[in-house]
Amino acid sequence: MNDSMPLAMLGTVPTEVRNPRTTEIDVLPTLEILRLINNEDTRVPGAVAVALPQMAKVVDLEVEALRGGGRVHYFGAGTSGRLAVLDAAELPPTYGIEPGLVVAHHAGGMDAISHAIENVEDDASLGARDAGEVNAGDVAVGITASGRTPYVVGALRQAAAAGAHTVLISSNPAAAAGAEVEVHIAVDTGPEAVSGSTRMKAGTAAKLVLNAMSTAVMVRLGRTYSNLMVSMSALNSKLRGRLVKILVEATGMDAETCEAALADAAGDTRTALVSLLCDVPPGRAAEALAASGGSVREAMRTIRGDA
C-alpha cells in the first residue's frame, strides 16, 4: 500500500518515518526478525482502541444510511482498496444483505486487485469518476494510510458534493483531508518495521477498523441474534449444517426439530428461529420479520406483543 505524494513530503507522514526499533532487522536471525515484526504488530490494537469513538459515529451513520435505503461506499488504492473489497464481499454471504448495499471501489478496478497498476492512485479525477454513483444520504469511506492518496481524496470530495456523508480512515492524524470529512478515523500506528511498507501495521489497522465497523453495523441492523450469524446464506452442505447448529444453540432444541423448522422455513434461518422461539407458523414469523426490517428480536417482540 504505497500512498503517492511528492517525495519531499513522505517524511512528514508517520508511516513513512524510519523506525528506530528495527534498524538492525536485516542482520538478525529469522526468529528475531519475526519477533521485531510481532512486537510492532502488538501496537496496532491499542491504536485502534483510541479511535473507537470516531468509529462509533461512522457505524451510526452507516446504519442510518442503510435503513434509509442508502448505500455505503469504500474507496481505496493498493492494500487499502483490497481490504475494502474483501470486507464488502464477505457481508452478503455472512449476513444475508443484498449485494451492492456495501460496495468497494478500488483504484484501477478489479484488474488492480491482483496486479498493481501504476499511477491510478495518483488520479484524483478517477476517484471522482468512481464516486459518481454516490448519492445524497450515502456514506463514502476513504481508506488510505497517508490520508493523502489523490484517488481517495478525489472520491471523497465528489461524494461530499453529492450530499453524502464522508469518512476518512488513515494512519496519519495530521492528514489535511481529515479536515474535509465528517469523521476522520486516525489510527496512529507509527513507523513500519520496514519503512513505508504500509501493508503491515497500517494495513492491519485498516482491516481491524473495517471489520469492526461492518460487523457492528450488521449487529445494529439485527442481522445477528445474540452473537450468532442467523442471517448467513447456506451456500453449501457445510453451511447448512452450521445453520442447524446455530438454531440448536439459539433455541436449546434438538437438531432434528431445528432441521425440520429450517426446511419448513425454506432455508431462512431467521424465520425458523422466530418460529421456534415464539411457537408460531413460519408464515407468521416471516411476516413479523418483514415488518421489523429483518431483526429477530424486534420480530419476537411484535409476536409476543400480539399474543
Q: Which of 32, 90, 133, 256 is catalytic?
A: 90
- 245 vs 39, 95, 172, 223, CA distance in Å? 38, 16, 44, 17
DSSP strand E in the chain: where? 72-76, 102-106, 139-143, 165-170, 183-186
Q: Which of 16, 40, 62, 121 is catalytic?
A: 121
> Could you tell me if 239 and 233 are in contact, meaning their C-beta atoms sit under 8 angstroms apart?
yes
Q: Is 90 a catalytic residue?
A: yes
The C-alpha cell at 74 is: 469504500
- 106 vs 14, 71, 95, 152, 204, CA distance in Å? 24, 16, 23, 9, 18
Cα–Cα distance for residue pair 162/70, rounded to 1 Å:
13
- Look at the block and give the residue holding cell 407468521: 284
Cα–Cα distance for residue pair 143/121, rounded to 1 Å:
12
The C-alpha cell at 89 is: 464481499
Q: Is 121 a catalytic residue?
A: yes
Q: Give catalytic residues, as residue numbers.
A: 90, 121
